[in-house]
């Protein structure tokens, strides 16, 4: 794969991400795609820990850790300050997990993109509060076990469609991406960097620990999510123009669910329900992209 | 130049003169005039600043944390509920050692909805690591705001400039507004001592283990102590340029006073009137006006209250289950001082109720006629209420 | 400026410690977390294990895909001196073993081999191959067929002087006399024979090896390799087979290759189901006759290449299955053949087991009949001894007589399967065995051969013997399930361009046409390169711990075990199984 990425690394080894951490892979790709002229706002998430305890940092870029719900707001402030200092070519990036994006940070994110703040908001999505011990978030998919959706109380609500929520704000650029598709991911990061205003990247970043899969499967499982249409790759410009970047063969979702410990309790009929949801979402996306199934 | 300004305008003028670069605020009564004026200044170019119209006070403080970390001078204003919402980030701002300055217009907390003055909102934030100044009039507001930047940047801690809702925020008074040149001499343009910098990348606010967290908190405690020592120096500089000085504690006629009122905010002005009146009648009243609440000026308080036979603390706030918060602080400041006078705690003017000269006289006579306090806190002016619950 | 800084310093109280990180996390050696350890370990592609010559096919296709045609061609030559010939006549078992076959279609390895040889010819490339320093021992080789040529080639690479003695006036053996021109044009053969000679091999034609001559050779050579092939058609053992209407298929082909045009008017029956039978039948058609193949089993049981059978049928050759000649007689000037009908009575060894179909017989009258049921050594003494002193290897028999030069039998004389590729395998095995004998003595031969196998054998690698990089590969043969097919897209297999049927049946012009470099590269790109690293860099790209470090080594990268947590992602995301994850031993 030739991603035309710099040989330079913007992360030091020695970070404390779990073996096979999808979020670490996502970070590495994004940093390499963006380069050194960037600053990162890091609201509470797995990466608050991965980034390293005082006095060390695994990131070779300026980072400001921030409160859980403040990703959109802190970035707004950083951007404003840079603008006042006449620095318009440094990219401000918020790097948040799904909890900090879908849930507690949603208001600040909504506020920031409504103001069309000039920054890139990246949500690396591992579908639960992993850092705190695998609690459900509004990004946790239907059917998942978490420590707060245990036993028969497995999550019976759909995953919030965050990109649609962002698209509804009519932001200049919103896209999904996956660590399993680096070419697509890197292209989208670079594209986002070139756009002015609020940009949102939703990166699917598997979590071997929380999903209960072997660490070596981290990328494979993310790829399966794309191949099954569970996590379609697409981008939305101005909230209006949809482009589907990858049209998979639509493998049945079953395989994806069968190999993850967090879904082990699901019965065949549950998987049928999920398959229906996935198909429904895909049809909807096709319609938005003007491509009737 | 003398202008007739309301307290809110005085704040805005100080912010303009301080060369603030990023302002962020969320509208909440009664702070609104401040941000309306600043919005206008930013829009018309009277100020070279960016105004971030955020969607909540929480985001407001978050945005300022971001902006100040990126190396600019910042400002916000809020009140009551807004400050309560900011609470988490007040800790963040001080822990990150960011010299953010905020104007806080004291407003009572709901329920029920009450937009009038009450100090409980700011006093509830006393443990957040912010320096707190309580102002008496518009001149003090403008002067204190300018001093606040100097002090905040000197000790790397944020500062709250507190003013009473309506009695100060919406009251017009003649104010001497200094010129830009004068202010520049006092407060040079902001230079961050640390900032987000692509040429010197480092990570702000990382995970901090027990091995060093305590040391970081101790350094903040030390900075608070330094602030106590630095404030008089800054006042000296200010006085040399502008001829005005306030003091962390202003002791008014305390030398021969038998009873000393401890006041803060606009109640002090009323107390000054009462003092004049009672002194005319031979009553030996003094006033200790507390301007600096955090860090708490223990030595100056002790000094001001040294000769008093009785101390009457007037609190427009209340800590439920305890007492008026200033009273608590005064008692704590005195408890290890030898032979200190008894402290009478009075609760008055809660939720915007007027604290008239009559109220203060009542407090004076109650204090005079009791050898010792009847209770920890005496609520003044409570009425029999029966609305058929 | 300094003044200003000082003024600032005075007005500021210092911050002694605050939550700000300025050091790297490198002090945290996360390698200590690891309980699984990834490492680079190339493995064996199934095609190369299935190739009797043990060609490094995965690497050949990798180089071809990159347009490095010369390097690809040289990679073949390390294991097989005759790519232009094998690219035309090999039965290519590699393709049957190709993992891509389970994905869509196998790689057209056969066509690509031919392409590379064509490219070498077109640009008159000269191979740059490693050659070991000269050795004092000399080896004589009887027979300049594929086995003899291969033995000479490899022994020369190993530093030995070789003389090849060929009975015929020209070198090539079965390739020269037994394979029709439409399958193997003379120029292709001659070019590769010349290439063998260019390595320093001396070929002496018109020098049949007789028992006396063999004795002579033993006085001046340290070893003799007998590879005179199977030149005589096996007898049918039916009455009347000696009558004048009955011809020898191999002889017929030889005549045709000699430029003669035998009379084939009318109908010719050909007995047999192998390539010789099909070649004879198709030659007859080209000479204007009609051909009928009589085979005792079914079409699917024929040892001839399926493709060749299909083309023969397309060209008008008739096939009668499940008949065996029982008696040959005369019907006037024509030949009467009595056929015993057979039937299938189960399966054995992957093909039908036959038995007589009761008493059913039939009779046909043809103008002539060719025997093409198999071949054997022209002289009885050509065959290797069955004695215990002889060392019987997979592709040759070795006789190590005290104080006398070693004698080796190879090629068709010693091979179970008689194919060009097996002949080359024999030559290679003999070369490795003799080299080991000369250098280390007889006891080292078997262990050495064992260490040179490709996969589980019996294919051997000269590169391994010569200490090349291939020796570092794990013998494990990569299975389809071990390929990460996510990195491959379905792509149709290339079609080998051919002369149209009408054109084919009229001439001996070569049927398979050349393919372009673009087509070859596209086809080679389809290759999974099973078990081999093609520097795709996935391991580096996906490493969450920056622990795959680029370097200047041949591998191009290494794993930094100070930080590698052993997540195993690199191993799973390696499309080709060129990495291994194993338990960490501390």
Does position C417 have pLDDT exceeding 80, yes or no? yes
- Interface probe with C: pick from B208, B229, B231, B234, most Cβ of C within 10 Å: B208
Selection from C384, C52, C406 nearest residue C228 by Cα: C384
Cβ(A57)–Cβ(A14) below 8 Å: no
Domain for residue C163, yes or no?
yes
Q: Residue C44 corresponds to which tokens in the numbers above?
A: 């064996």
Selection from A87, A61, A66, A40 nearest residue B50 by Cα: A87
C154 and C255 together in one domain = no
In the three-class reduction of DSSP (H, G, I as helix; E, B as strand; rest coil), residue C358 is classed as strand
Q: Which residue has the higher pLDDT, C558 or C386?
A: C558
- CATH assignment of the domain containing C341: 3.50.50.60
C350 torsion bin: left (phi>0), alpha (psi -120 to 50), beta (else): left
Does position B14 have pLDDT exceeding 60, yes or no? yes
Q: Domain boundaries in chain A? A: 22-288
Selection from A63, A152, A136, A145 nearest residue A102 by Cα: A136
Reported confidence tier of residue A293, pLDDT bands at 50, 70, 90: low
Chain A interface includes C546 (CB < 8 A): yes
* Tens-digit pLDDT profile for residues A96-152: 999 999 999 999 999 999 999 999 999 999 999 999 999 999 999 999 999 999 999
Domain for residue C464, yes or no?
no
Per DSSP, the residues of C485-533 read: GGG----PPPPPPB--HHHHTT--S-SBPP--HHHHHHHHHT---TT--
C326 and C349 together in one domain = yes
> CB distance C19–B219 less than 8 Å?
no
> CB distance B56–A75 less than 8 Å?
no
C289 and C329 together in one domain = yes
Give contacts of B56 with chain A, Cβ < 8 Å: 107-108, 111
According to the CATH classification, is domain A22-288 in 3.40.50.970? Answer: yes
Domain for residue C190, yes or no?
yes
Residue of C15, C17, C22 with shortest CB distance to B212: C17
Domain for residue C390, yes or no?
yes
Angle at A10 between CA A6 and CA A16, to 5 degrees: 135
> CB distance A66–B62 less than 8 Å?
yes
Domain for residue C296, yes or no?
yes
C485 and C425 together in one domain = no
At residue A57, φ and ψ (nearest 5 deg) are -140, 140
- CATH assignment of the domain containing C516: 1.10.1060.10
What is the tally of structural domains in chain C? 4
pLDDT for C8 equals 59
Per DSSP, the residues of B297-349 read: -HHHHHHHHTT-SEEEEEESS--TTS--HHHHHHHHHHTTSTTPPPEEEEE--
* Tens-digit pLDDT profile for residues C432-449: 999 999 999 999 999 999
What percent of chain C clears pLDDT 70, i.e. is strictly above it? 98
C297 and C410 together in one domain = no
Cβ(C54)–Cβ(C460) below 8 Å: yes
Cβ(C25)–Cβ(A52) below 8 Å: yes
Chain A positions contacting chain C at CB under 8 Å are: 1, 3, 7, 9, 11-17, 19-22, 24-25, 28, 51-58, 60, 65, 179, 182, 208, 214-220, 223
- Bridge partners of residue B160, in order along the sequence: B102, B132
Nearest CA in chain A to C37: A216
- CATH assignment of the domain containing C34: 3.30.70.20
Reported confidence tier of residue C168, pLDDT bands at 50, 70, 90: very high
Alpha helices by DSSP H, listed for chain B, are 7-17, 32-44, 57-69, 80-95, 120-123, 138-155, 180-186, 210-242, 267-280, 298-305, 325-334, 357-369
Average pLDDT over residues C365-382: 90
Mean pLDDT score across all residues of chain C: 93
User: What domains does chain B contain, in order, with CATH numbers?
Assistant: 2-187+210-242 (3.40.50.970), 249-379 (3.40.50.920)
pLDDT for A22 equals 98
For residues C22-32, one letter each, b for 16 or more C-beta atoms within 10 angstroms of the residue's C-beta and e for the rest, the string is eebbbebebbe
Does position B389 have pLDDT exceeding 70, yes or no? no
CA distance A56 to A62: 13
Domain for residue C437, yes or no?
yes
Cβ(A124)–Cβ(A205) below 8 Å: yes
Domain boundary among C508, C525, C542: C525
Q: Return the half-sphere exposure (C-beta side, CA atoms, 13 A cut-off) of residue B356.
A: 4
Does position C2 have pLDDT exceeding 70, yes or no? no
Chain C interface includes B214 (CB < 8 A): no
C363 and C382 together in one domain = no
Domain for residue C301, yes or no?
yes
C314 and C263 together in one domain = yes
pTM of the predicted model as reported, rounded to 2 decimal places:
0.91
Q: Return the half-sphere exposure (C-beta side, CA atoms, 13 A cut-off) of residue B335.
A: 6
- Residue A248's CB is within 10 A of a number of other CB atoms, namely 17
> CB distance C16–B153 less than 8 Å?
no
Torsion of CA A159, A164, A165, A168, to 10 degrees: -160
Reported confidence tier of residue C5, pLDDT bands at 50, 70, 90: low
Number of inter-chain CB pairs under 8 A, B vs C: 50
Q: How far is B167 from chain A (nearest CA, A)?
A: 32
Domain for residue C223, yes or no?
yes
C155 and C113 together in one domain = no
Average pLDDT over residues C256-278: 94
Structural domain that includes position C207 = 138-231+377-451
Neighbour subunits, A (≥3 Cβ pairs < 8 A) = B, C
Q: Residue C546 corresponds to which tokens in the numbers above?
A: 């920056």
């Amino acid at each position: 794969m030739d991603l035309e990425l710099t040989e330079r690394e913007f992360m030091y080894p020695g970070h404390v991400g779990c073996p096979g951490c999808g979020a670490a892979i996502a970070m590495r790709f994004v940093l390499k795609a963006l380069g050194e002229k960037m600053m990162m706002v890091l609201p509470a998430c797995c990466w608050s820990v991965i980034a390293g305890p005082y006095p060390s940092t695994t990131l070779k870029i300026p980072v400001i850790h921030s409160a859980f719900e403040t990703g959109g707001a802190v970035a707004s402030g950083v951007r404003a300050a840079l603008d006042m200092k006449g620095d318009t070519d440094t990219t401000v990036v918020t790097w948040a997990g799904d909890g900090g994006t879908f849930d507690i940070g949603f208001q600040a994110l909504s506020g920031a993109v409504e103001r069309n703040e000039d920054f890139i908001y990246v949500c690396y999505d591992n579908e639960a509060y992993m850092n705190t011990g695998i609690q459900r978030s509004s990004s946790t998919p239907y059917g998942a076990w978490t420590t707060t959706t245990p036993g028969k109380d497995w999550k019976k609500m759909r995953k919030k469609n965050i990109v649609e929520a962002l698209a509804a704000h009519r932001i200049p650029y919103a896209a999904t991406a996956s660590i399993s598709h680096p070419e697509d991911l890197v292209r989208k990061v670079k594209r986002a960097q070139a756009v002015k205003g609020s940009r949102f990247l939703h990166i699917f970043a598997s979590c071997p620990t929380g999903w209960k899969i072997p660490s070596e499967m981290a990328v494979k499982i993310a790829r399966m999510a794309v191949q099954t249409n569970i996590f379609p790759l697409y981008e939305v410009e101005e909230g209006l123009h949809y482009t589907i970047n990858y049209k998979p063969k639509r493998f049945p979702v079953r395989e994806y669910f069968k190999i993850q410990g967090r879904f082990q309790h699901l019965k065949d009929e549950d998987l049928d329900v999920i398959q229906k949801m996935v198909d429904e979402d895909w049809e909807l996306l096709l319609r938005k992209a003007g491509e009737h199934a | 130049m003398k202008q007739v300004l309301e307290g809110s305008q005085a704040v805005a003028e100080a912010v303009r003169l301080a060369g603030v670069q990023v302002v962020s605020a969320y509208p909440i009564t009664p702070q609104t005039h401040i941000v309306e004026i600043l919005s206008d200044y930013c829009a018309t170019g009277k100020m070279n600043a960016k105004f971030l119209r955020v969607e909540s006070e929480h985001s407001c403080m978050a945005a300022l944390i971001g902006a100040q970390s990126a190396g600019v001078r910042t400002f916000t204003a809020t009140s009551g509920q807004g400050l309560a919402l900011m609470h988490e980030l007040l800790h963040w701002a001080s822990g990150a050692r960011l010299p953010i300055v905020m104007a806080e217009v004291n407003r009572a907390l709901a329920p029920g909805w009450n937009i009038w003055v009450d100090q409980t909102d700011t006093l509830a934030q006393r443990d957040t690591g912010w320096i707190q100044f309580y102002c008496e009039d518009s001149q003090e507001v403008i002067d204190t705001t300018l001093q606040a930047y100097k002090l905040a940047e000197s000790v790397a801690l944020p500062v709250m400039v507190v003013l009473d809702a309506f009695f100060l925020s919406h009251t017009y008074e003649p104010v001497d507004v200094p010129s830009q040149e004068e202010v520049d001499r006092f407060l040079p343009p902001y230079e961050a001592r640390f900032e987000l910098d692509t040429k010197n990348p480092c990570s702000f606010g990382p995970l901090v283990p027990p091995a060093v967290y305590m040391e970081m908190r101790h350094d903040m405690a030390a900075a608070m102590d330094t602030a106590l020592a630095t404030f008089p120096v800054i006042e000296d500089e200010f006085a040399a340029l502008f001829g005005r000085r306030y003091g962390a504690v202003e002791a008014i006629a305390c030398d021969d006073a038998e009873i000393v009122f401890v006041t803060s905010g606009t109640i002090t002005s009323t107390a000054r009137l009462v003092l004049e009146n009672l002194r005319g009648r031979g009553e030996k009243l003094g006033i200790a006006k507390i301007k600096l609440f955090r860090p708490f000026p223990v030595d100056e308080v002790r000094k001001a209250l040294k000769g008093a036979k009785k101390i009457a603390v007037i609190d427009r706030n209340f800590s439920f289950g305890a007492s008026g918060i200033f009273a608590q602080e005064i008692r704590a400041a005195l408890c290890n001082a030898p032979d200190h006078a008894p402290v009478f705690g009075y609760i008055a003017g809660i939720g915007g109720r007027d604290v008239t000269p009559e109220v203060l006289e009542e407090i004076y006579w109650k204090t005079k006629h009791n050898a010792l306090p009847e209770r920890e806190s005496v609520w003044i002016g409570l009425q029999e209420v029966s609305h058929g619950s | 400026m300094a003044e200003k800084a000082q003024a600032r310093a005075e007005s500021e109280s210092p911050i002694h410690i605050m939550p700000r990180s300025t050091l790297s996390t490198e002090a945290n050696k996360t390698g200590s977390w690891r309980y699984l350890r990834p490492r680079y370990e190339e493995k064996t592609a199934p095609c190369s294990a299935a190739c009797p010559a043990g060609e490094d096919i995965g690497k050949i296709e990798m180089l071809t895909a990159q347009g490095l045609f010369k390097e690809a061609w040289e990679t073949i030559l390390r294991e097989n001196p005759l790519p232009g010939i094998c690219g035309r006549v090999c039965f290519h078992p590699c393709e049957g073993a190709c993992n891509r076959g389970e994905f869509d279609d196998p790689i057209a390895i056969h066509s690509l081999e031919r392409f590379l040889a064509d490219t070498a010819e077109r640009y008159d490339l000269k191979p740059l191959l490693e050659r070991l320093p000269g050795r004092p021992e000399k080896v004589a080789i009887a027979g300049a067929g594929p086995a003899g040529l291969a033995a000479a080639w490899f022994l020369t690479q190993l530093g030995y002087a070789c003389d090849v003695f060929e009975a015929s006036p020209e070198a090539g053996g079965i390739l020269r006399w037994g394979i029709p021109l439409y399958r193997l044009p003379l120029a292709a053969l001659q070019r590769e024979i010349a290439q063998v000679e260019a390595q320093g091999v001396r070929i002496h034609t018109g020098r049949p090896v007789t028992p006396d001559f063999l004795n002579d050779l033993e006085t001046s050579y340290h070893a003799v390799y007998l590879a005179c092939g199977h030149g005589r058609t096996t007898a049918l053992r039916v009455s009347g087979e000696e009558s004048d209407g009955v011809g020898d298929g191999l002889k017929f082909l030889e005549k045709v290759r000699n430029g003669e045009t035998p009379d084939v008017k009318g109908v010719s029956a050909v007995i047999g189901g192998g390539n010789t039978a099909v070649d004879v039948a198709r030659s007859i058609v080209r000479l204007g006759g009609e051909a009928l193949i009589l085979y005792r089993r079914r079409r699917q049981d024929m040892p001839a290449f399926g493709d060749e059978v299909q083309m023969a049928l397309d060209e008008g050759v008739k096939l009668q299955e499940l008949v065996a000649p029982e008696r040959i007689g005369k019907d006037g000037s024509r030949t009467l053949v009595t056929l015993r009908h057979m039937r299938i009575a189960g399966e054995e060894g992957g093909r039908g087991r036959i038995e007589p179909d009761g008493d059913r017989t039939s009779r046909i009258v043809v103008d002539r009949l060719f025997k093409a049921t198999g071949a054997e050594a022209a002289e009885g003494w050509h065959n290797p001894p069955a004695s215990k002193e002889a060392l019987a290897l997979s592709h040759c028999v070795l006789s190590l007589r005290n104080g006398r030069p070693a004698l080796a039998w190879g090629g068709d004389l010693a091979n179970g399967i008689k194919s060009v590729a097996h002949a080359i395998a024999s030559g290679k095995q003999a070369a490795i065995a003799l080299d080991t004998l000369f250098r280390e003595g007889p006891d080292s031969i078997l262990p050495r051969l064992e260490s040179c196998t490709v996969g589980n054998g019996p294919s051997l690698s000269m590169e391994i013997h010569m200490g090349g990089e291939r020796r570092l590969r794990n013998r494990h043969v990569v299975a389809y399930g071990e390929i990460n097919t996510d990195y491959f897209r379905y792509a149709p297999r290339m079609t080998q361009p051919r002369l149209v049927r009408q054109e084919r049946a009229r001439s001996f012009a070569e049927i398979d046409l050349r393919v372009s470099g673009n087509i070859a590269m596209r086809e080679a790109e389809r290759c999974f390169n099973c078990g081999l690293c093609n520097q795709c860099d996935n391991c580096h790209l996906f490493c969450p711990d920056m622990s795959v470090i680029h370097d200047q080594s041949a591998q191009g990268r290494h794993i930094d075990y100070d930080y590698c947590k052993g997540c195993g992602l690199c191993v799973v995301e390696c499309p080709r199984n060129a990495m291994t994850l194993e338990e960490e031993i501390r």
